[in-house]
Amino acid sequence: MEILKRGGNAMDAAVAAGATLGVTEPYVSAIGGGGYMTYYSAKDRKVYALDGREFGPASMKEDYFIDPATGKPLSFADAVTSGLSVGVPGTLAQWDLALHRFGTRKLGALLQPAIRTAEHGFVVDQEFYDQTATNEARFRDIVPTRELFLPGGKLPAVGSVFRNPDLANTYKQLAKHGIGWLYDGELGKEIVQTVTKPPVDPKATRVVRPGVLKTSDLAAYKALSKQPTHVSYRGYDVYGEPPSSSGGSTVGEALNILGNFRLDPRDPVTALHYYLEASKLAYADRGAYVGDPAKVKVPLDELLSQGFARERACLIKPDQAATAPVPPGSPDGQYQPCVPPGTQTRVLAAEGPQTTHLVVADKWGNVASYTVTIEQFGGSALTVPGRGFLLNNELTDFSFTPSAPGGLPDPNLPGPHKRPRSSIAPTIVLKDGLPKLALGTPGGSTIITTVLQILVNRLDLGMDLPTALAAPRATQRNTPQVFAEQAFIDRYGKALAARGHRLEVFPGPPAGVIGAATGLEFLRPGLVQAVAEPVRRGGGSALVVRPAGP
């Protein structure tokens, strides 16, 4: 709000807010991580996509997560709290690219609100306490992490003030030296030291494996400007994040599939059945075909083609759920009205559900939809000593097990300077060429279904945006079960079970809660509605510079 009030634009405000979230949500948002952004530029009336996803070290190979002692993949628990899980941070490079292309302020000026927040502190709420408690055991084993996030050896009490002077100083140094301090300078050397020689308490029994990151890997990193994904749906233009994220392609494919059906707000059960089945099919294709396009061939145009969507839609029965997992389709450009089911599919890979999302619009009509993350709550648990921030565990988003002989090749295997596949889906919707909606959410692989369900709620089921965002959720990611919030099961479970859906409460974390979305809608020229969660994760924040009324 401060940046907007002082004449900054949506990009300036998004960067300033992202930096401040690095202070107040350090377990999900930090300069030790990365993110994705879609941005509508009012000047040229176009949507852009900015990729700040981390990539792996140059020495990374397909067997990166195979334990040489056993020949088997490391467990997720062993891989995550280690230097192996840390990718080259992309956030600062993304901010630099974003501000050079679309901003009006220097990074140093935009870091000032975050510096003040880090110095003065913020009040610990239940969410911050719970996230710290979730990580307490592993935080205690990493000396600088314990010193920062367990002050005095204790969990920070709800209602206490948490300060981070180390991060304030880090931001000050970034304001002075620029992002080269990380990618080509001393901060980068300190990150590499932390990854290759994790600062573990000598008394700890936890095995914390060192990583293989080098300063040359940091120097090689670049944030990317890309063409966003685009599909037309019910007269709206829906733009999303392209690969290496699977968010835009999977949301877009599912919308294309749903476009073959009439969804009636008077029959929400049938609409939700189609939503779940379209999700199931799109997730099968996501797993088979989407990876880092710099390293693997991604048939993006075909995945988003109407012909492929029609071929997939013909598999959906109006009164019976398909048995999951379903096989992927063949986005080969040769589409028939219906095709028989295939035989090969892939199990849903692990992906941490902890990120944070923000949306911003300014008085000129620019819109930013931005998801920033260090992957799971607490990332790798490795804090750079004296710098006040955690490092990511994004490399655990890669598949751990190499493809079986004769099976489908896995597009998401580790590789040198490869970006792991993400589900992040910052989304912007235009109507008649002008912004209508912007939304996104944290939630790992549930991000896609959360964004998709909010769009269906808003565009098909007649809900206004606050209702669409607050409505109970379910997620179908090509798994045997449909995981859902209890309120969704209470409302729709019996009717959907009659169509063959197996509903279970979403296991989390946090248990029973899917996503934590934010969104905005242009109700008419000059009137924007800002929306955040009323309850999930303690509720979100939605503010405007000039409130229009009560």
Greatest alpha-carbon span in the chain: 66
Q: Could you tell me the two tokens for 394?
A: 């994004």
**Rounded Cα distance, 457 and 234, in Å:** 13
3-state secondary structure 403-460: CCCCCCCCCCCCCCCCCCCECCCCEEEEECCEEEEEEECCCHHHHHHHHHHHHHHHHC
Catalytic residue list contains 373: no
Q: Are 217 and 224 in contact (CB under 8 A)?
A: no
Catalytic residue, from 229, 355, 383, 518: name it: 355
Q: Is 244 part of any known ligand binding site?
A: no
Q: Is 32 part of any known ligand binding site?
A: no
Q: Could you tell me the two tokens for 333?
A: 């450009």
Q: Are 391 and 384 in contact (CB under 8 A)?
A: yes
Angle between helices 268-289 and 247-258 (to 10 degrees): 140
The answer for residues whose C-beta is within 8 angstroms of residue 54's C-beta and 6 or more apart is 33, 34, 87, 88, 89, 90, 392, 394, 395, 419, 420
Q: Is 53 part of any known ligand binding site?
A: yes
Q: Is 422 part of any known ligand binding site?
A: yes
The answer for residues whose C-beta is within 8 angstroms of residue 513's C-beta and 6 or more apart is 485, 506, 536, 537
Among 386, 33, 87, 375, which Cα is nearest to 213's?
87
Q: Is 415 part of any known ligand binding site?
A: no
**Rounded Cα distance, 40 and 434, in Å:** 9
Distance, C-alpha 126 to centroid of its chain: 23
Do strands 229-233 and 236-240 pair parallel, antiparallel, or not at all (unpaired)? antiparallel
Q: Are 91 and 30 in contact (CB under 8 A)?
A: yes
Please return the burial class of 323, using the count of CB atoms within 10 Å of its CB with bins 0-12, 13-18 and 19+.
exposed
Count the helix, strand and coil residues of the chain and give each as a percent rounded to the nearest 5: 35, 15, 45
Under DSSP, the state recorded for 59 is T
Catalytic residues: 355
Residue list for the binding site: 53, 397, 422-423, 444
Binding site per annotation, positions for L-glutamate: 53, 397, 422-423, 444
